Structure 1
Amino acid sequence: MTPTIDDLDRALDATGALVAGVTDDQWSAPTPCPGWSVRDLVNHVTAGNHLFASSLRGHPLPVTTVTAPPDLLGPDPAGAFHASADALAQAFARPGALDQEITLPMGRVPAVQALNMRITEMLAHGWDLARASGQTPRYPDTVVEDQISFSRALLPNLPAGRGPFAPSQQVSENAPPLDRLAALLGRTP
């Protein structure tokens, strides 16, 4: 299924609620992403939002990468995340944005594929953030199911050794959709 801007908005809103729910003492807590604290994870997602928004607007990619961005969160991590989410949503909502190809660190991709990638990133890292901060994620199951289908189709086509996260893990088909997506992308629910 082709993702919509509404799907992105739902994923960004639910992730934003998780970011807003992080307490002061949780920012340095570990996440399911090895070596990343909650702050590192939110900074990574924030940097990714800015990178995709910049590319959608036809601007050159920033020198820093999404895997090792500078601290973009400052003293207001939730505000920084929300600003990046707004920039991303606005960039995807521009007339003709979904009809173009954009340049990302992995190369040129159709904007519709980039939209799927960004939604999947919100869901997967939202799952990570929820686990690290003891929150319950609130993503619509339909959006998650669509990203399971997207990820299942994409993963076999990635070059050897190049995966978005880690090798897929086993999980019951009766598990909640977000847990199934997390397992598909290498998490252990």
Structure 2
Amino acid sequence: MATDFVTRYEQASRYFCDLVAQIGADQWSAPTPCSEWDVRALVDHVVRGNLAVVPVLDGIDLAELGRLDIARPDFDVLGHDPLTAVRRSVDVAVEAFARPGVLDTVVHHPAGDMRGRRLAGLCFNDNLVHGWDLAQAIGVDAALDPVLVEAAHAYLAPVAGSLPRRYFATAPEVGPTTDRQIQLLALLGRDPRAWKRSA
């Protein structure tokens, strides 16, 4: 299962990279379903998260993590070539997750101490759902890979209540539905139908 989440993380991250390649020059300041972020801020967040995988798996503590350049809001992780920055961040994270033993190692994360395998699951979910955010923001097909959606929902549903609420908006009332993508998005504080109406 752990290895599956590393694979899923890479798949979700490559999907995110493909979306970044489709961002129009005039879309970087467009709003996203993450109300506090425009498109550039959303991409910036994903890149920082990917880059943080390496020091977190290296065992850095939270105080040290907070002093790294990638934790500084004024540090530009995208530069003049955001697509290359995103791709490079995925490469280094995937390489870090592939190191022997890291999935069983306890690491320190703002969401709490956890084993590397759980970190892989969190990162997978984050990049997958932010892919949906980005697709919505730039107006392309936001249907996620159903295999990835099932894997993300199976991982997140049992633990969503134990994660700090600062990471997610309040789960919306989406009503009875068998649509797994809507169920997943709701767990992460998103209602695709409501956002479309307000976009």
Distance verdict in 2 for CA 1:144–1:66, change over 3 Å: farther
Name 1:49's counterpart in structure 2: 50
Report matched runs for 1:94-105 at 5 Å.
Answer: 94-105=99-110
Contact in 2 for aligned 1:44/1:69 (Cα 8 Å): no
Aligned residue number for residue 93 of structure 2: 88
Separation of aligned partners in 2, 1:106 and 1:67: 19
Give the Cα–Cα distance (whole angstroms) in 2 for the partners of residues 67 and 131 of structure 1: 27
1:169 aligns with 2:157: no
The farther-off stretch of 58-67 and 147-156 is: 58-67
The SS at the match of 1:74 is coil
SS at match of 2:158: helix
Q: What residue in structure 1 maps to residue 6 of structure 2?
A: 5
Q: Secondary structure at the match of 2:114?
A: strand
Shift of 1:99: 1.2
Q: Which amino acid aligns with 1:182?
A: L
Give the distance between the partners of 2:53 and 2:27, measured in 1 at CA: 27
Q: Distance in 1 between matches of 2:83 and 2:99?
A: 24
The structure-2 alpha-carbon separation of the partners of 1:41 and 1:61, relative to structure 1 and needing over 3 Å to count, comes to: same
Q: What is the CA-CA distance between 1:138 and the residue it aligns to?
A: 6.2
**Structure 1 pair 11–141 and aligned structure 2 pair: CA distance change class (3 A):** same
Range with greater deviation from structure 2 (51-60 or 110-119):
51-60
Between the aligned partners of 1:67 and 1:188, the Cα distance in structure 2 is 31
Matching residue's letter, 1:9 = E
Partner residue, 2:148:
143
| Distance across 2 between alignment mates of 1:158 and 1:73 | 28
Inter-partner Cα distance in structure 1 for 2:190 and 2:7 = 26
TM-score (norm 2): 0.84
1:107: Cα distance to partner? Answer: 3.2
Number of aligned positions between the proteins: 186
Between the two proteins, what is the percent identity of the paired residues? 37
> Which stretches in structure 1 are left out of the alignment for 5+ residues?
none
- Contact kept in structure 2, 1:44 and 1:68, CA below 8 Å: no
CA distance in 2, matches of 1:129, 1:106: 23
1:102-140 alpha-carbon deviations (Å, 9 max, x no partner): 112233211111001000001111111011011224643
- 1:63 counterpart (48, 63, 67): 67
- Taking the aligned partners of 2:101 and 2:59, their CA distance within structure 1 comes to 12
Q: TM-score, normalised by structure 1?
A: 0.88
CA contact (8 A) 2:132 2:142 kept: yes
For the pair 1:154 / 2:131, whether they are aligned, the reply is no
1:23-34 matches, within 5 Å, as 23-34=24-35
Give the match's secondary structure for 2:26: helix
Q: 2: distance between equivalents of 1:56 and 1:86?
A: 15
Deviation track 1:21-79 (CA, whole Å, cap 9, x = no partner) reads: 11111111111111211000000110011112221133452525769463210111111
